[in-house]
């Protein structure tokens, strides 16, 4: 809930209007700045309100069904919500910052051909609270609340987990208003990046409502190939997508994600065409080595091919770092997230994050 929603909810519980907005503010602070889940510990609230919360509020986190840590320090959590649906959230530490990759849907309706999540059906959209809960659980598990230490561990958020965020616009926007609010989760919009496969009309909406960093899953420079790899291209082709990018009020250059598929989209001619398409845009190209998953119909381009492709894009004036695959050994890398009913049956919950201090079993990284 946002502050206005909390105010309204409190008034529904009979809190007098004169104190409602102050109480909402205090509660908002406990929830998002302190990460508190026990009303009894919300010491700035009067006792009657703590009791009301005990009775009427559900502050429980989703269940942490599994936690895995990769050799490179990447961590992945499988979270289960009240209805039994599950998503994955990935923590990606780097030298001077760390990103949390959050999911926005259970599955995805778009079936991009190279994406593991795309082989799942869309089960449902996540609610704003379930999107925020991924951040809260990560902070619990990483001991990343302000009382614990001063330098925060989760410094950036990337909306690049399971699902297409712009097809769950209302809930994703509601969650991120709280994320970027300095009195809420407090991660600035410059440190948030939303990745979309190209839901063109929603790009402008997101620019107006949140204006975070933007990443576009481009992956092909011709419509015939992009129609096949990223089927939403049939509805909004490359030219329209790039037009929306040109109008986007980006706080920093837009990232174009380009998955390197051997013999499919990785030729010199593709690289030159990419440079031509981006002309006039403030952009950066993120080359993503294809991450394999069981049954995937593609292979990753050879390292030499990726370097040659990157050199052409760089010479054209666009930085084109190759994204180091992170957490591949635990299937946590781009496009590898997928939860299945079979996984769920095999695994008993290892923790409910009601008690974040409780030790948690680490599954072996296989």
Among ligand SF4, ligand SAH, none, partner that 290 touches (CB below 5 to 8 angstroms by kind): ligand SAH
Catalytic residue among 112, 115, 300, 334: 334
Site for ligand SAH in 316-345 (CB under 6 A): 334-335
**Site for ligand SAH contains 213 (CB under 6 A):** no
Hey, which bits of the chain come out as E strands?
A: 63-69, 75-80, 86-93, 98-101, 105-106, 124-125, 156-159, 192-196, 213-217, 254-260, 283-289, 351-352
Axis-axis angle for helices 238-247, 268-278 (nearest 10) = 40
We find the least distance from the C-beta atom of residue 74 to ligand SAH, in angstroms, to be: 14
Among ligand SF4, ligand SAH, none, partner that 111 touches (CB below 5 to 8 angstroms by kind): ligand SF4
Catalytic residue among 88, 130, 164, 257: 88
Q: Is 273 a catalytic residue?
A: no
Comparing CB distances to ligand SF4, the nearer of 27 and 112 is 112
Comparing CB distances to ligand SF4, the nearer of 63 and 332 is 332
We find the least distance from the C-beta atom of residue 159 to ligand SAH, in angstroms, to be: 7
Comparing CB distances to ligand SF4, the nearer of 142 and 166 is 166
Measuring CA to CA, which residue among 289, 291, 349, 255 is closest to residue 117?
A: 291
Q: Is 334 a catalytic residue?
A: yes
CA dihedral 41, 45, 51, 54 (to 10 degrees): -50
Residue 298 contacts residue 290 (beta carbons within 8 Å)? yes
Among ligand SAH, ligand SF4, none, partner that 313 touches (CB below 5 to 8 angstroms by kind): none
Comparing CB distances to ligand SAH, the nearer of 49 and 101 is 101
d(CA 214, CA 192): 8
Helix (H) or strand (E) holding 195: strand 192-196
Residue 209 contacts residue 170 (beta carbons within 8 Å)? no
**CB-count burial class (<10 Å; 0-12, 13-18, 19+) for 170:** exposed
The contact set with ligand SF4 (CB under 6 A) reads 108, 110-112, 115, 117-118, 163-164, 197, 217
We find the least distance from the C-beta atom of residue 89 to ligand SAH, in angstroms, to be: 13
**Site for ligand SAH contains 160 (CB under 6 A):** yes
Annotate 238-297 with three-state secondary structure. HHHHHHHHHHCCCCCCEEEEEEEECCCCCCHHHHHHHHHHHCCCCEEEEEEECCCCCCCC
We find the least distance from the C-beta atom of residue 334 to ligand SF4, in angstroms, to be: 8
**Site for ligand SAH contains 266 (CB under 6 A):** no
193 bridge partner residues = 158, 213
We find the least distance from the C-beta atom of residue 288 to ligand SAH, in angstroms, to be: 4
Q: Which stretch binds ligand SAH (CB under 6 A): 52-60, 127-135, 190-198, 266-274?
A: 190-198
Q: Which residues bind to ligand SAH, rule: CB under 6 A?
A: 112, 114-115, 160, 164, 195-197, 217, 257, 259, 288, 290-291, 334-335
Catalytic residues: 88, 334
């Amino acid at each position: 809930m946002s502050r206005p929603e909390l105010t309204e909810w409190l008034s529904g519980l009979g809190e007098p209007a004169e104190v409602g907005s102050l109480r909402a503010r205090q509660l908002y602070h406990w929830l998002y700045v302190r990460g508190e889940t026990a009303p009894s510990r919300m010491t700035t609230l009067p006792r009657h309100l703590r009791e009301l919360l005990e009775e009427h509020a559900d502050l429980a986190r989703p269940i942490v069904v599994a936690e895995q840590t990769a050799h490179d320090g990447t961590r992945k959590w499988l979270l289960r919500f009240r209805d039994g649906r599950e998503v994955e959230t990935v923590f990606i530490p780097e030298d001077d910052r760390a990103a949390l990759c959050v999911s926005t849907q259970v599955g995805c309706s778009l079936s991009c051909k190279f994406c593991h999540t795309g082989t799942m059906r869309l089960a449902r959209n996540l609610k704003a609270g379930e999107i925020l809960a991924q951040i809260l659980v990560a902070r619990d598990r990483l001991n990343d609340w302000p009382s614990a230490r001063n330098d925060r561990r989760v410094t950036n958020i990337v909306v690049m987990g399971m699902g297409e965020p712009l097809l769950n616009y209302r809930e994703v926007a509601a969650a991120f208003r709280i994320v970027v609010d300095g009195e809420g989760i407090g991660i600035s919009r410059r440190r948030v990046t939303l990745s979309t496969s190209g839901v063109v009309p929603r790009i402008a909406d997101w620019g107006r409502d949140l204006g975070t960093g933007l990443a576009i899953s481009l992956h092909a420079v011709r419509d015939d190939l992009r129609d096949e790899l990223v089927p939403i291209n049939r509805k909004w082709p490359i030219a329209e997508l790039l037009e929306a990018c040109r109008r986007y009020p980006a706080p920093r250059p837009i990232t174009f994600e380009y998955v390197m598929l051997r013999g499919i989209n990785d030729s010199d001619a593709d690289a030159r065409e990419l440079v031509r398409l981006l002309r006039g845009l403030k952009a950066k190209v993120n080359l993503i080595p294809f991450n394999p998953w069981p049954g995937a119909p593609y292979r990753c381009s050879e390292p030499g091919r990726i370097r040659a492709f990157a050199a052409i894009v760089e010479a054209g004036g666009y930085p084109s770092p190759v994204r180091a695959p992170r957490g591949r050994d635990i299937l946590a890398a781009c496009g590898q997230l997928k939860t299945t009913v079979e996984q769920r049956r095999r695994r008993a919950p290892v923790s409910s994050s009601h008690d974040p201090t409780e030790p948690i079993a680490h599954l072996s990284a296989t």
